[in-house]
Each structure stands twice: as C-alpha cells, then as structure tokens.
Amino acid sequence: MLSKRIIPCLDVRDGKLTKGIKFKGNVDIGDPVEIATFYYEEGADELVFYDITASSERRDIMIDTVRRVAEKIFIPFSVGGGIRTVEDMRRVLLAGAEKVSINSAAIRDPGLIHRGAEAFGSQAIVLGMDVKKVTPSEKTPSGYEMVIDGGRTSVGLDAFAWAREGERLGAGEICLNSIDADGTQQGYELPLTKLIASNVAIPVIASGGAGYSRRGGCSACRIHHPLWHLHHSTDKVLPS
C-alpha cells in the first residue's frame, strides 16, 4: 500500500504567509520562503503555495515569490491563485512549480482544465475545490456547494458533480478544501472526503481541519498551520 502524503500549504497574502479560520480573520505570520524551507527540511512530501487574494482581486499571482520558494526546496511544488489562462500556467511552471492549481477560474471557464491538461499533461493540473456544507437542494443534492474567490462567492454548484466534471475534463488531482473545517484543527470533513474520493479515479487531497482523523479514503493530507510539525506527528493526521 502506498503511503499517504503530507502536503504543507502556504497561504500567502501580499507576499506574506497568512493564517485564518474558515477563510476569515487572516493575520500575517511570517515569510513564506522561510517556512517553505522549514517544511522541506522537516521532510514534507510536497508543498503547495496559494496566493489567496489573487482571484478575488483579479490580479496575477506573485511570480517572484513562487520563484524564491522554488529556489529553496527540492520536492514537488504546486501553485494556485490568480491562474486564469494557459499562459499563466506556463509562467508558473517555468518559475519552478511542478503543478498548477486552478479553482475560481476553472468554474468560470471549465475548458481551462482541458486546455491546461492538453498543454502540460493531466499530472500538472490540480482542481482546487473550496467547499461549504449546505442544506441539500435541487442544485446541490450532495449537501456541499462550491465557493470561489477565496470563500467570498457561492456559485450554486454541487461539489460532487463538479469533482466528476473536473476529472472528465482532464484534472489529474483534486485538492478538496472544507471551508467549514478550515483552520480549526478539529479534523477533516470526512463525509465530504469519502464522497469525492470514492467516486473519482484520480488522487484526492484532503484539506481543512488537519487534526487526528484516520479515515476518509484520500491520497494525501494538506496542512496549513506553519507550526503544525512542532505539535503533532504525521501518524495522527493521516486518514487511512
């Protein structure tokens, strides 16, 4: 059986590492390059860099920060936030990333997933999904709704249906982030993780709420808190 991956996530705002809870109340807490280096030296399997306000502010990602992080680490590295075109993907990959993560832009333009996979291969395209629990309805029968622009805009799109569509369009991986669990360290939203992971053939990364959960069927776990490794061991966070 393959080991589960531990993937630290650097949420960056205005070039600084930031931390919030449920996508709110973010405070700046450090230098992303320094923390990326710490995680690399601690043995992280991969790293994720998110420019969390690039989409909502309709601006490009901070390529210089991406390049600085890539110069310091030698593990797989994915980047998201503000990526809207195939050319944006190309710039990020040339700056040193192995993968790009698309979220808001993919919902606004689903064909971007296919175009990116055609240009760079499905292995380079991660479908980012920010998901909120809602009352099941005709539009959201799974009880989980997609939210874009860094948690600011609900779009009335069912998360289960979107995961299946993203896979069909060519995404090679799904990063599934629960807004309700984000930053709480109370465990992942396991019903959501199980729902998606058991119905797609591509790897699913569980994100939001890293704590002591052991089940969920995901391929990897993403952690956000920069001091997490000082307080927990990996066997307490990985879903089995």
- Find out whether 115 and 86 touch, Cβ atoms under 8 Å: yes
Within 10 A of 108 (CB to CB), how many other CB atoms are there? 13
Could you give the residue numbers annotated as active site?
11, 130
Report the first-to-last Cα separation within the chain, whole angstroms.
11
Token code pair at residue 46: 């991969």
- Find out whether 118 and 172 touch, Cβ atoms under 8 Å: no
- Find out whether 236 and 188 touch, Cβ atoms under 8 Å: no
Within 10 A of 230 (CB to CB), how many other CB atoms are there? 9
CA distances from 61 to 5, 71, 73, 95, 141 (A): 26, 17, 19, 11, 34
Write b or e for each residue in 70-100: b if 16 or more Cβ atoms lie within 10 A of its Cβ, otherwise e: beebeeebbbbbbbbeeebbebbbebbbbbb
Tell me, what amino acid is at 70? A
Closest CA to 29 of 236, 195, 237, 226: 226
Closest CA to 159 of 168, 146, 171, 149: 146
Residue 178: its H or E element: strand 173-178
